[in-house]
Amino acid sequence: MPELPEAETIARGLDAAIAGRRIERIKIHRDEVVEPMSPAAFRRGLRGRRVLSVGRRAKWIAALLDDGGRWVTQLRMTGRFTWAPPSPLRSEAHLSASFVIEDDGGVIRFYDTRRFGRMWVLDEDEWAELDARLGVEPLSERFTPRLLADLLSNSRAPVRNFLLDQKRIAGVGNIYAVEALFRARIDPRRPARCLDRNDVRRLHNAIRSVLSAAVDRRGTTFSDYRDVLGAGGGFQNALKVYDSEGEECLRCGGTIERCVLAGRSAYFCPDCQR
C-alpha cells in the first residue's frame, strides 16, 4: 500500500502536470471509484474547476480547486495515477477514471488493479473535517520529540502498531515503521508508553530520516507502485530489515526475525532491537 513517500511523489508529479489548469472532461469507468458519491455528482463537482495545486495529507492525494474545495484520492493498495499526452478516452484493463486537462494538458488516468481506491470532491467544511481526523505530519515542524513523547505516553499498544495509527501520526505505514524502529534500535513489540527519553529521541530522528530518504528516492516499489510517468521508486534498495526474515542483519550480523502484530508482519533484529 502506498505510504507517505509514495503519495508525496505522486502528488508532486500531478502538481507539475496539472496545477493551474482546468479539468475539461471526466469519464468514470468504474462507478465504485467515487462511492458513496454518484458519478454524476462527482463530475458536477470537478468538471470545469481549475486545479490550483496538488498536495498530500497523510497517504491521501489532495488537489486544491479554485472554489476552495478538494479533489481527494485515497490510493489504498494498488491505486496509481498516470499522465499522458492528449489521447482518446477508452476503457482499459484496471482503468477506473480518466480526466482530460485543458490547453493540451494531456490526460490523467487512475488505474486500480484491486479496485479499493476511492476519490471524492469535498467542499471546504468536508475537507476540514477529514483533515481534523488525521494526525500530525511527521515531516512537519510540529512533529517534535516532545509531541512524540506525549503521543506515546497515552498508548499501551506495541510501538509498531502505534506508528500505524493515522489519527496520531499521519502517513507512516508498515514498511517505514519497521525501518524506523530498526534505525532507532527499538523492538517493535515494546509498549509505546514504555519508551524512555532516549528511545523517543532516536525514534523521532529515525522516522524523519527514513521518510526523507524514501521521498528523495521517490518511494519503494515491490510490485504495483509507479509515479505518474510510470517510473518505480528506488528506496527498496535501501531497506535494512523489511521483508528480510532469516537474512543477516546488516548492522550486527544477527538474524532478522519476523513477528505478527495486529495481523501485520513486523521485521526486526533481536540482537540490535532489545
Domain of residue 192, CATH code:
1.10.8.50
Write down the pLDDT at residue 86. Answer: 84
pLDDT digits (tens, 9 = 90+) for 118-142: 999 999 999 999 999 999 999 999 9
Residue 178 and residue 238 in one domain: yes
Residue 152 and residue 251 in one domain: yes
Residue 259 domain-assigned (yes or no): yes
Residue 31 domain-assigned (yes or no): yes
Domain closes at, from 86, 105, 133: 133
3-state class (DSSP) for residue 177: helix
Residue 72 and residue 186 in one domain: no
Residue 150 domain-assigned (yes or no): yes
Question: Which residue of the set 43, 59, 183, 226 is catalytic?
Answer: 59
Domain closes at, from 89, 112, 133: 133
What parts of the chain have a pLDDT lower than 50?
A: none
Does the active-site annotation cover 59? yes
Does the active-site annotation cover 188? no
Residue 160 and residue 81 in one domain: no
Residue 150 and residue 264 in one domain: yes
Domain closes at, from 133, 153, 181: 133
Strands (E), 19-104: 23-28, 51-57, 60-65, 70-74, 79-84, 95-101
For residue 155, CA distances in Å to 148, 151, 183, 191, 194 come to 11, 7, 21, 7, 9
Residue 127 domain-assigned (yes or no): yes
Write down the pLDDT at residue 88. Answer: 82
Residue 100 domain-assigned (yes or no): yes
Residue 243 domain-assigned (yes or no): yes
pLDDT digits (tens, 9 = 90+) for 50-62: 999 999 999 999 9
Write down the pLDDT at residue 1. Answer: 76
Residue 189 and residue 243 in one domain: yes
Q: Which domain holds residue 79?
A: 4-133
Residue 163 and residue 218 in one domain: yes
Write down the pLDDT at residue 274. Answer: 83
Residue 200 domain-assigned (yes or no): yes
* Cα-to-chain-centroid distance, residue 98: 21
Q: How far apart, in whole angstroms, are the C-alpha atoms of residue 174 and residue 208?
A: 15
CATH for 118: 3.20.190.10
Q: Give how many domains the chain has, as a whole number.
A: 2
Residue 127 and residue 235 in one domain: no
Q: How far apart, in whole angstroms, are the C-alpha atoms of residue 107 and residue 98?
A: 7
Write down the pLDDT at residue 107. Answer: 96
Does the active-site annotation cover 39? no
Angle between the 174-184 and 197-216 helix axes, to the nearest 10 degrees?
130
Residue 149 and residue 235 in one domain: yes
Residue 103 and residue 207 in one domain: no
Determine contact, residues 113/94, Cβ cutoff 8 Å: yes
Does the active-site annotation cover 3? yes
Residue 138 domain-assigned (yes or no): no
Question: Which residue of the set 12, 50, 189, 264 is catalytic?
Answer: 264
Residue 107 and residue 35 in one domain: yes
